[in-house]
Amino acid sequence: MGLLDGAKNLIGDVVAAADRAFEETGSGKLALALAKFYPGGLAAFLDRLRETGHGAAVDSWLSPGTRQPVPASALAACLPEAVTERLAYDLGVPDARVPTVLAEFLPAAVADQSENGSLRPQPNFSTQVR
């Protein structure tokens, strides 16, 4: 095995460990991280997704039933770079993995934070990035 193969394996192991750590903390951590760092919190992020054409998916997360996906690239386009960096640090994943983590875990996080088709009141933090 060459040096490049070893580096690829190490990177893969780090990414897998980060994913496992995130899965263990649950979707509540993701909702809290967005509340802390996205201007306006989770509700504002969902509004941004609606504005960019993903309203049906967001609505599916708030209601019982099948949750529609939003591509990681669409989520990345809605995140300012500074927010991505802070989310990465807070969630314990590399910056480049934040959109993928959001695509995978945000639907469940929103479902956990919703009731009767609406998002429950969310905390507001002074650490939100502007």
Instruction: Confirm whether 102 is domain-assigned.
Output: yes
pTM of the predicted model as reported, rounded to 2 decimal places: 0.77
Instruction: Confirm whether 21 is domain-assigned.
Output: no
Question: Residue 49's domain spans which residues?
Answer: 26-117
Task: Give residue 53's pLDDT.
Answer: 97
* Average pLDDT for runs of 10 along the chain of length 130: 55 51 59 89 95 97 94 97 94 93 93 89 65
Amino acid (1-letter code) at residue 9: N
Instruction: Confirm whether 60 is domain-assigned.
Output: yes
Percent composition of the chain: helix, strand, coil (DSSP 3-state, to 5)? 70, 5, 25
Instruction: Give the other-Cβ count within 10 Å of 120's Cβ.
Output: 12
CATH of the domain at 69: 1.10.10.690
Instruction: Confirm whether 42 is domain-assigned.
Output: yes
Instruction: Confirm whether 122 is domain-assigned.
Output: no
Instruction: Confirm whether 2 is domain-assigned.
Output: no
Instruction: Confirm whether 91 is domain-assigned.
Output: yes
Instruction: Give the chain's length.
Output: 130
Task: Give residue 29's pLDDT.
Answer: 83
First to last CA, the chain: 46
The tally of domains found in the chain comes to: 1
Question: Distance between CA atoms of 16 and 102, rounded to whole angstroms?
Answer: 15
Antiparallel, parallel or unpaired: β 114-115 and 118-119: antiparallel
Instruction: Confirm whether 44 is domain-assigned.
Output: yes
